[in-house]
Structure 1
Amino acid sequence: MRSLIPLTLLIAVFHTPVHAVTFPVHIQVNRNPSPSLSRRTPVPIGNIGNAQYVSNITLAGVTLPVLLDTGSSDLWVAFPQSPPAGSIKDTGKSLTLSYAVGKASGNIQTAQIQFGNYTLNDQAFLLVNDTSTFTSDIHSQGYDGLLGLGPNTGSLIGKKLSGSTGYSTLQRLFQQDKMTANYISFLLDRKSDPGEPFTGQITVSELVPGFENITSMPILDVETVNRILKGDQHWQALTDKNNGITGPDGLPIQLKSIVPNAPSGQFVAVIDSGFTFSQVPRAISDAIYGRVNGAYYDTQNEWWLVPCGQYLNVSFNFGGISYPVHPLDLVDNNFNQIDSTGKQVCIGAFQPITSAFSILGHYDMILGMSFLRNTYTLLNFGNWVGTNGSQAHPYIQLASVTNVAAARNDFIKVRLGGNDTISDAKWALLPASQMQHSPISAEEKKKAYEEKILSRWPYILFGCLMLVLILVGLCIWRCCCRRGQKEGTGGKRGFFSRKRGGVNQKRSSYVPLSTPDRSASPYPPQNAGAFAMSQQHLHEDYGRGGPGFSGHRQV
């Protein structure tokens, strides 16, 4: 997926144009690294104003900074200059990739790509000429394209090209070494944080030195999460039961999941590095910011605006582990927001989910950069790749990198000028009874209604089929009852008894209509001709039916 922040905010991040990006690397080194960890070095990740994260690739001999997006699977680029002649090949296929904000349209090409120490020949990518739906000029914002880090099954380029030609970049990287585990890991750093001990970096099939303890963290199995569409694979996990999110007041935020098969008391969260602001249910965003004194909701941009000095303590809980969010990430001051009085205000970086709302009910929230800066993240593709015979489910592991006490000190230095006024009355949360609730737009109500129907269509369809079967069964049963009543009544009069002179005489056996009833009289008729004539009239009347004919005729 792609970040939802508008162009005006992105422009505010940049003060000078950037055409080529070189990122310094400061890596924590383990004093006794294992041989498997010393084969390659992590690829550095550049931080553009806490709004976007990029790494360099070399495509067709040109070095290009690209956004890193775990919510999509394809590579697209827009060369800042003319594409190098003779280094790329046109497949003759065109494609449009749609994101939460913006579309990338162009022709599918192939070229050699280098990413870190890896080199791939004939890598498929989308060559894009018009990026105006994203911003006016992506190059001035420090990137020339986007590298999708999602599963290969989500690649639209792969669906356009036959066989392995259209495989995603990560899929082909994993195929180069079938003996290693198929995972990536990454760290996202935080600008303007005096206590940040590392810079951003990403690895393929190895760990960042100094963070090896991530392998002891809980395994969050993404296959346990319900998905209606089989191909709709995301990096998603279940929060802890009845304690998925701990709010600013220290209490769990309670809310029912919109995912039909989600276990009771748990949320489905997608891990997506393409979102600057995390997208959460409106009730959760209100619970985080609605009790802040002086906070108000911006209906135009659909986020909370909060006093920049407001300290908040919120954590997300997965696998029994608490992952606190740095207060600098909860209340974001990277975009120079000014209120009507000319005073700077900050954005609540856990935004009500609107444009990215899952109409099919696949997930409750998207945890983007504002959350991922607080974890070292490992994404294991498992059997999504299918190259090394792995039958393991894909999974996520998270290691917290935010210390609550240290984060509090950072906040005091950065936002409060070094004076600890966090306990002052002006920063106290309002009573729960005075909590503000952000307004719900008509469009959002419509989406919520559609979600309730579309996410539950299998149950609705099953219910409709059962109703139809019941109605059909009732109709058949009713018809059988009526037929049985008719046959029962006619049988008593036509087959089991004869009425002669007001006296009922019981037959000893069934007698066809065309055969004389010898059981009624032991003697043959006196006039055989008359009997034959009467039988002829009988058959004529049976064939014609007649007024009141009911299928049986008394003799």
Structure 2
Amino acid sequence: MRSLPLVHSFLLSFSPLSVLALSIPFSVRTPDTTHHHLPRQSSTSSVVPVGNTQNAFYYSNITLGGRQISVMLDTGSSDLWVTGSVPGAHDTGNSLTLSYSVGNAAGDVYTAPFQFDGYTVQDQAFLLVNDTSTFSTDIHAEGYDGLIGLGPNSGSSIYKKLSGDSGNSALNRIFVQNSSSDNYLTLMLSRNGDPGSQIAGQFTISSVVPGFENITNQPKLPVEKVYKLTNKDQHWQILTDKGVGIIGPDGQPINYDSIVPKAPSGQIVAVLDSGFTLPQVPRSVSDAIYGRVQGAEWSTSNQAWLVPCGQLINVTFNFGGISYPVHPLDVSSSDFGVTFSNGNSACLGTFQPISSAFSLLGEYDMILGMAFLRNIYTLIDFGNLVKGGSSSNNPYIQLLSLTNETAAVNDFISVRLNGQNLINSPQYALLPASQQQYSPETAAQKKAQYEEKVLSHWPYILSGCLVVVLLLVAYCVWRCCCRRKRLAKKKAANQQAGPTPGGSANSSYAKLPDSGSTASLAMKPMRGSTLDFNEECRGDAFARR
């Protein structure tokens, strides 16, 4: 028995979009394996095998300093880190600490010869994590000894730590060194527990898995750029089709208004991230998928829907005019050992309401993780996101559907219903829309949505405030100008009228008119004195007499 919360939250925490790593409080049943490493890849091979631990995480082998290391494949981050020792590694003198929900990945930044998919980088920078005591799990026992980020170089913490190009991500270094090759990777994930699946996990750089060349003929889906203060939050994200991005179990589109300010109306921004075990979708989307299933329960402790394992649920995503159905074994999972409130066995609804990974900056709407990625063969072209690369093309993504709907239904009947076709029986009929259940939203989640509305629109709020300030300043200037003009006009009018009688041209006062009185205004001596007034006043006014 291995703990999914540890694996899942650890994977999530390495994605730059998961500032708050998601933790899932339930376990996944896995077979007891003592050897996790894949067979050594042939030097002439152009395909890297991808291992699968009970559909919970995917890993491949790299060689670093001559040592073969099993690392998780994560399209949601951009750094390379490993544990243990690396022969011949060179210390750059830089330290780095990355904080995650399961502990801190702290260590020193080294360089060493690096090999992956037949490519070699002589001095690849990586983080050597020597102390894993803060991790809440033994990562080696979980089957991996590190992680390789497959995201854009701008998201690399090592790149930001080192000067120049020495800290560039592993894939960025490979693309720059091999300028004659195309700057793309491809990823295909296997599905354990599916007897009808013929898909093997495979990874390639600048080449296509043999037999799947048709992926290059699929629509080129532009990578949606993240327009923020920096580009460190750039993800592999694309837009769903307008109005029909997600088709629910009843065959009807699931409507949702994007939280991304610049997203076109009727379209949803989806991130493709192999670091997420469970896809993270808007709450209303998750409710639309599972809320009409008979017997469905919302599990507060698991923060997910629980459904009867025999319930076949259809979900389809549309990108670039192409439909990508999700295998019903991926829409609900029997790998987690969950039960209903009455103690009966249940299956977990894998399309989980997004909470901890919710984008407060409004950069994306949902994260399509492993449960979705198992249904497609993915090609990611880095284009001009390669630092120091020669390509001026915009990055794009191509998807090739791997799920045959008819075969998928037969697989589901075989695995979940013991070969009995009961999918159309009354007990598995969807409830009317009027009886749909809705998952509760916590106060913290409501607060996060409110904060997102503010933070994602801060450029518009700031612009509005600046406009108001400018209008106030303009109004004050206008009032001052008007007042000065009025005073100037009044002054000019007085000057044109000329001096008034008894006054000067510069005087604003006119002489009082003569009242016609003949009374003398001459002053008379006080107290009947005959002394001259001026003479009397020349003495001390306070002298004793």
TM class by shorter-chain length?
A: 0.7 to 0.9
Residue 13 of structure 1 deviates from its aligned partner by: 3.4
Task: For 1:361 and 1:134, locate their aligned partners in 2 and report how far apart those are by CA, in whole Å.
Answer: 30
Q: Which residue of 1 aligns with 2:382?
A: 381
**Matching residue's letter, 1:158:** Y
Q: Contact 1:277–1:350 at 8 Å: present in 2 too?
A: yes
Distance in 2 between residues matched to 1:224 and 1:122, nearest whole Å = 30
Rounded Cα–Cα distance in structure 2 between residues aligned with 1:154 and 1:244: 28
Q: Which residue of the partner structure matches residue 60 of structure 1?
A: 65
8 Å contact kept, 1:17–1:140: no
With 298-307 and 456-465 compared, the bigger mean Cα shift is at 298-307
TM-score by length of 2: 0.85
User: What displacement does 1:469 show?
Assistant: 1.2
Question: Any gaps of 5 or more consecutive residues in structure 2?
Answer: 1-9, 13-20, 508-545
Q: Deviations over 1:364-421 (max 9, x none)?
A: 0111001000000000011111555211111100000001111000000000110011
Matched, 1:45 2:50: yes
- Paired position in structure 2 for 1:241: 242
Task: Give the conservation status (yes or no) of the 8 Å contact 1:100–1:355.
Answer: no
Contact 1:225 1:268 in 2 (8 A): no
What residue number does 2:6 align with? none
The alignment's TM-score, normalised by the length of structure 1, stands at 0.83
Check whether the contact 1:18–1:139 (CA below 8 A) recurs between aligned residues: no
CA deviations on 1:148-183 (whole Å, 9 max, x unpaired) are 001112111011111222111111222232101010
Alignment deviations for residues 457-491 of structure 1 (CA, whole Å, 9 cap, x no partner)? 11111111111111112222222223333333343
8 A Cα contact 2:22 2:357, kept in partner: no
Match of 2:318, SS state, is: strand
What are the Cα deviations for residues 504-543 of structure 1, in whole angstroms up to 9, with x where unaligned? xxxxxxx9849xxxxxxxxxxxxxxxxxxxxxxxxxxxxx
Q: Name the SS for the 1:97 alignment partner.
A: strand
1:69 paired residue number: 74
C-alpha contact 1:178 1:387 (8 A) present in aligned 2: no
Amino acid at match of 1:441: T
Residue 297 of structure 2 contacts residue 340 of structure 2 at CA under 8 Å; is this kept in 1? no
Q: Structure 2 matches for 1:10-159, cutoff 5 A?
A: 12-16=28-32, 18=34, 20-22=36-38, 40-79=45-84, 83-84=85-86, 87-99=88-100, 102-131=103-132, 134-159=135-160
CA-CA distance at 1:9 after TM superposition: 4.0
Conserved 8 A contact 1:113-1:120: yes
Residues 51 and 447 of structure 1, relative CA distance in 2, 3 Å threshold: same
Question: In structure 2, the residue corresponding to 1:209 is in which secondary structure?
Answer: coil
Q: 1:70 to 1:134 in 2, by over 3 A?
A: farther
Q: Is the 8 A contact 1:330 1:350 kept in 2?
A: yes
Distance 1:263 1:133 in 2: 43
Aligned length: 490
Task: Summarize the Cα distance change of 1:211–1:158 in structure 2 as closer, same or farther, 3 Å threshold.
Answer: same
Q: Identity over the aligned pairs, expressed in percent?
A: 57
Q: Distance in 2 between matches of 1:284 and 1:387?
A: 40
Q: Does 1:432 align with 2:449?
A: no
Matched to 1:72, the amino acid is S
Deviations 1:191-236 (A, max 9, x none): 0101111210100000000000001101011146655643321101
- Residue of structure 2 in register with 1:299 after alignment: 300
| Contact in 2 for aligned 1:107/1:127 (Cα 8 Å) | yes
Code of the residue aligned with 2:197 in structure 1: it is E
SS, match of residue 55 in structure 1 = strand
Instruction: Note the 1:396-415 alignment, pairs <5 A.
Output: 396-415=397-416
Q: 2:343 & 2:425 partners in 1: Cα distance?
A: 24
Partner of 2:17: none
Range with bigger deviation, 176-185 or 59-68: 59-68
For residue 331 of structure 1, what is the aligned residue in structure 2? Answer: 332
| RMSD, matched Cα | 2.4
Query: Matched residues in 2 for 1:339 and 1:24: separation?
Result: 44
Name the SS of the counterpart of 1:322 in structure 2: strand
- 5+ residue gaps, structure 1, are 26-37, 503-510, 515-555
Give the equivalent residue in structure 2 for 1:258.
259
- In the alignment, is the contact (CA less than 8 A) between 1:378 and 1:398 conserved in 2? yes
Kindly state the Cα deviation for residue 323 of structure 1 after the two structures are TM-superposed.
Answer: 0.4
1:20 and 1:64 in contact (8 A); partners too: no
Residue equivalent to 1:182: 183
Change (3 A) 1:130 1:248: farther
1:2 aligns with 2:11: yes
Alpha-carbon distance between aligned partners in 2 of 1:230 and 1:385, rounded to the nearest angstrom:
13
The structural deviation recorded for 1:435 is: 1.1
1:241 and 1:106 map into 2 onto residues whose CA distance is 46
Structure 1 residue 107, shift from structure 2 partner: 1.1
SS where residue 13 of structure 1 aligns? coil
Residues 440 and 113 of structure 1, relative CA distance in 2, 3 Å threshold: same
Per the alignment, residue 552 of structure 1 pairs with none
Partner of 2:533 in structure 1?
A: none
Helix, strand or coil: the match of 1:63?
strand
